[in-house]
Structure 1
Amino acid sequence: MNKRVLARAGALLGAAVLSAGLLVVVGAPAQAASLGEVTLSQTSGSVTTTPIFTSATSPKCPTGFGENANLRIGRPGGPYSNLAVALGGGGFDEAPVTISPNRSFSTAIGGAPAAGEWWVVMECYSLTEGRNVDEFRTSIQVTGSTWRVPVAENTTTSLVVNPASPVSQGTEVALTATVAPATATGTVEFRRGSSVLGTAPVSGGSATFATTALPVGTFALSAAFTPADATAYKPSTSTATSFQITAAQGAITAPVEIVTDIAPGAFSLAVASPTTSLTGGTVGGTATGALPAATVTDLRGTNVGWTLTGQLEDFTLAANTIANSKLSWTPSAAKTSGSGAVTAGAGADLGDTRTLCTAASGSSAGVFTCGADLKLSIPDDVPPGEYSATLTLTLA
């Protein structure tokens, strides 16, 4: 479905502003979304161990859905099988919920689980409305007869350069990177300052690159490891090694100073689409969707930091309204390019100005993408129909 909305972009006192329309049609039920993570007492184990783990804990259930809670396991999106006896007695929307399984992974699903991704989910129930359409969930990976939560392991990278500095220009210089743990696989990028000299695969915990093309001068050599499996290992970079190349014997050198004037680049905000739709909405239920991707470009050269915020109006349909606080978002953020870093804002309702993403002073340069999952809680006393609201994004 399409809905006409207005989008505007510009600069206001150093702030870039974009408005995006949000549309929800109150109708069919919503699909399950994640309410957050389930924290497991162990991060790995055997699929045949009873119980699969000692306990699982989730945040408190949504208000009104605290009558019962159940811990289950299955392929992403279901169907799910019970890992424990369901909890009863109510009060599970007042405090975090902990359930202790009483069976193994294999027993729960009636056989050996296939390799790949599975979900451990915590479900919440209302006495009158049944199971909440959304759930708490944590992803686990099955390999052979074991399962594990895909938590990346730290790595370290060190660099040795042979022969020792200084050497004359044209001498072959070998750079050897050692990556620990030795089980980590991937590639190493060898650098001279910020320039890339070359790359080499990691084999048996090491990677080597040799060159005769280092120029005359003193500079920093380093090695940066990129894992082949980012869910298993984290990247790491070696400490920089100072290295000097001298002019070849008998060579005559003459210095030439090179000067360039660098102008500041863009500081801008762009949104992939001026409108988005929330789907699955029913009176008294929820509607879900996603914010169109917002791209922040900071090439000013100042590295002073920035923050992208959102302010939402109330949803309206003629004289009917749904308060802006009924819409909540779960922001996400990623770096597209550059030297900076971006942090997603906290999940929150949009009853006030909220942060979508931010980059701190000293690490804000580059191009970044920010987005959010959206969830609208629809009151049980609003007439059905097509409601719309405008979300204004402000970059400053």
Structure 2
Amino acid sequence: MKAPSSRVARVAALLGAAVVSSVALVGVSSPAFAADLGTLTITPTTGSVGASADDATPMFTSATTSAACPTGYGTNAVAKVGPVGGPYNNLNRIGSDNNYDAGPFTLGTNRSMAKALLGVPANGNYEIVIQCSGEILGDNADYFRAPITVNNGTWTVKGAVVATPTTTGLAASPAGSAAYGATVTLTATVSPSAATGTVAFKRGATTIGTAGVSGGVASLPVSNLPVGTLSLTAVYTPANGDYTASTSSAVSYTISAPTNGATGNQTILADVAPGAFSLGLAGDTVNLTGGVVGGSATGALNKATVTDLRGSNAGWNLVGQVGDFANGASQIPGDNLGWTPNAAKVDASGSVAAGAAVAPGAGLGSARTLCKAEAGSSAGVFECGAGLTLDIPDSVAPGSYAATLTLTLA
């Protein structure tokens, strides 16, 4: 489904919750300069380049743009691949939706990288791109881009973490069976042994307890296993994205009834629903002050509050992008606005990191990270903010300029 046609809605539809804030100041204008149309999110992030030029296996499932095609270039769009800087060859037939300039969109592929490039590519750096074109204006000269590397027949999106597969085994001591009330030691062995994280020991669907992995081993002594024949498993959860999760084969274990008295068991169940994943702003207007022609104006972004109570610890990223500042026909490029982000925990078990400072001139005309939390440590409530600086060209007309800054949480 396409996002609404307005600029704010197009950007906000990217990946989740988005809140729009206005930035106003005194001073400014200069013509905008050419830049890439935006970035691509590739799913999956790695795969085979293909066995030969006849290999029709799709290179990837989907490529999603970070924004819409420019106005007037929404008739056709096509995904391509090639060396950095081109030339690029098609990965699919040209899409003819006639609405690619209405919001971010997704394209798939129907051929391998080897088929697109007419042969298995050599090791090195390449790009996946999407090009927009219009019925009247023709092909747009700029692209949405995703850099990739090729190494020994495998392509990978640059910066993507490719997890190492793991296996998990489970043993119980004493082996096979024990009397009710006796201590049984459950030991999980995770391979490769460098993997870190935790192991949850389970009886059927019920978690008995958890233990940390050290040197590829996690152990848990238990003395409250119920009477009967039990199915025990060990579920490994990695500490980060360097390794995959894995589950052991089930181990059958028997707990014999006590010789005296009687015993009974009750299973206690509790349903836990996911909480909010949301973005809130302390205000919707920022006034930059001190602006003079040829100088700069400064201010502070309204605090953004990120709440991640999904229970998945899946990680998140809060990015911002601003349009050009306008005063009638006069404009100041959005890239003239820079920021220095800051971030703090409010009430969280996870952690948050501020995005990199972006200097005016290479600023927020493109999407920039305000703050982020990595997978495995993203739960809780956090606050993110930034100091703002707008460089005002010495050739602009004085006046009141305004632009729209969009924050997107994904």
TM-score (norm. length: structure 2): 0.39
